[in-house]
Structure 1
Amino acid sequence: MSEIRRRRQRVEVGRNRAALVEAAIRTLAERPEASMAEIASAAGVARQTAHAHFGTREVLLAAVRDELSRRAIAVLDAADIEHGTASEALGRFLDATGTLLAEQVASSHAAADSEQEAARHVPVEQRLEALIRRGRDSGEFTTDLETGWLVAATIALGHTADHQIRIGRLDAQVAASQFRTSVMHLYGANDPDPAR
């Protein structure tokens, strides 16, 4: 096989994998129990191609969670929480998290390995810890709750917002607003955008 053909094959493999993950994100958000065949069809590839790339639905779901985690970190990085006041940065962080809620629904329809799920939270936890320290140092955030507790509670509230969306109790916009208000209160921060 020529080098050009091998490169084309690698490009095609990468394109198919990306298409399957993207199709899974969209399809599972609408139909959580969608099969590999349905996801493959939405991606425009054969069911056999999906199985060749991922083997099982569980492996594909893990790839979906990884992709959504990658996107989440990119969105949180774009929120630029190292600049401005701690309260402003917290507001941007919460707004960025709110934009992710509807998309993240797709990743939570199958049980994830708890170790892998914990590892996905580490970058978010590190950003929150640094922000909390900055907010405490500036006097913008409450000092009577431990940093670890605030981080864990923030993540738990994010999961609660996600759950409320998944069961149809709240739409993504309302859940994002409730999440923002709850975390601002938890941190003892004055919301720089009180109209939200």
Structure 2
Amino acid sequence: MQRNRAAVLSAAVRVLAERPEASMLEIASAAGVTRQTAYVHFGTREGLLASVRDELSRRAFAVLDAAALEAGTATEALGRFLDAAGTLLAEQAAFDHAGSEPEADASRHVPVEQRLEALIRRGRKSGEFTVSLETEWLVAAVIALGHAADHQIRVGHMDAQHAAKQYRSSVMRLCGAKH
């Protein structure tokens, strides 16, 4: 039973990345199960979409955990954070966030914001990052720049690799990090 649920969720991430309008039948077929099985596990398409957003968040945290933000200098850690963010931009840009709830999306950002805030505070304390801008402002600006990079990919103005490079350069400059 859990294997079917995991298969549907995995297929949904893949299929929706390619075709955000894909039906439950298409997703179920890609998972090798019936449409009814998909509905049993997720109830509705909206329920499946919510589970996909949760799965993408889980993957995002795994990528950030792998970045080892506590290790090395703050500048090195910020570079790893930005590399991780670039990976996430490429993976998640294709997923349509339509229908997502703003409150739920905001709550998904909290752990990222907390890690970023700790990193920026460490960089400011060590003298690696600017102290002319408030920590909270830097956190908000880094998140906003990530959304801007995501938008550029979604509207076709940049590919994920170029957007990630622009994002990295912008954040490093904003923070005053030597890179």
**1:154 match:** 142
Q: Aligned partners of 2:174 and 2:4: how far apart in 1?
A: 44
Q: Unpaired runs of 5+ in structure 2? A: none
TM-score, normalization: structure 2? Answer: 0.95
SS in 2 for 1:176: helix
Letter in 1 for 2:135: T
Q: Does 1:58 align with 2:39?
A: no
Q: Distance in 1 between matches of 2:169 and 2:132?
A: 19
Q: Within 1, Cα distance between the matches of 2:148 and 2:3? A: 34
Higher deviation after alignment, 107-116 or 159-168:
107-116
Q: Is the CA contact 1:105–1:162 (under 8 Å) kept in the aligned structure 2?
A: yes
**1:106 & 1:171 partners in 2: Cα distance?**
11
**Of 81, 96, 117, the match for 1:93:** 81
Residues 9-28 of structure 1 mapped to structure 2, 5 A cutoff: 13-28=1-16
Find the structure with the greater CA-based Rg: 1
Is the 1:61–1:110 contact (alpha carbons within 8 Å) kept by the matching residues of 2? no
TM-score by length of 1: 0.87
Going from structure 1 to structure 2, the CA distance change for 1:140 and 1:73 (only over 3 Å counts) comes to same
Distance 2:95 2:156 in 1: 16
Structure 1 runs not aligned, ≥5 long: 1-12, 192-196
- Match for residue 74 of structure 1 among 62, 72, 75: 62
User: 1:107 and 1:93 mapped to 2: Cα distance?
Assistant: 21
1:189 alignment partner AA: A
Q: How far off its partner does 1:118 sit? A: 1.2
Indicate the residue corresponding to 1:170 in structure 2.
Answer: 158
Q: One-letter code of the match for 2:167? A: F
* CA deviation vs aligned residue, 1:131-152 (integer Å, no higher than 9, x gap): 0110000111111212111111
How far did residue 111 of structure 1 move? 2.6
1:40 equivalent in structure 2: 28
Overall identity of the aligned pairs, in %:
74
State how far apart, in whole Å, the 1-side matches of 2:38 and 2:120 are. 43
**Cα distance in 2 for residues equivalent to 1:48 and 1:62:** 18
Task: Tell me the CA shift for residue 101 of structure 1.
Answer: 1.0
Given that 1:26 and 1:106 are in contact with CA atoms closer than 8 Å, whether structure 2 keeps it comes out as no
Count of residues in correspondence between the two structures: 179
Q: Indicate if the aligned counterparts of 2:94 and 2:154 stay in contact, CA closer than 8 A.
A: no
Residue number in structure 1 paired with 2:126: 138
Counterpart AA for 1:116: A
Q: For the residues of structure 2 that align with 1:108 and 1:91, how far apart are their CA atoms?
A: 27
State the one-letter code of the partner of 2:10.
E
Question: Which deviates more, 148-157 or 103-112?
Answer: 103-112
Match of 1:10 in 2: none
* CA offset digits 1:115-170 (Å, max 9, x no partner): 21111111101100100110000111111212111111111111121122122221
Runs of 4+ residues deviating >6 angstroms: none
Contact 2:20 2:95 in 1 (8 A): no
- The one-letter code matched in structure 1 to 2:75 is S
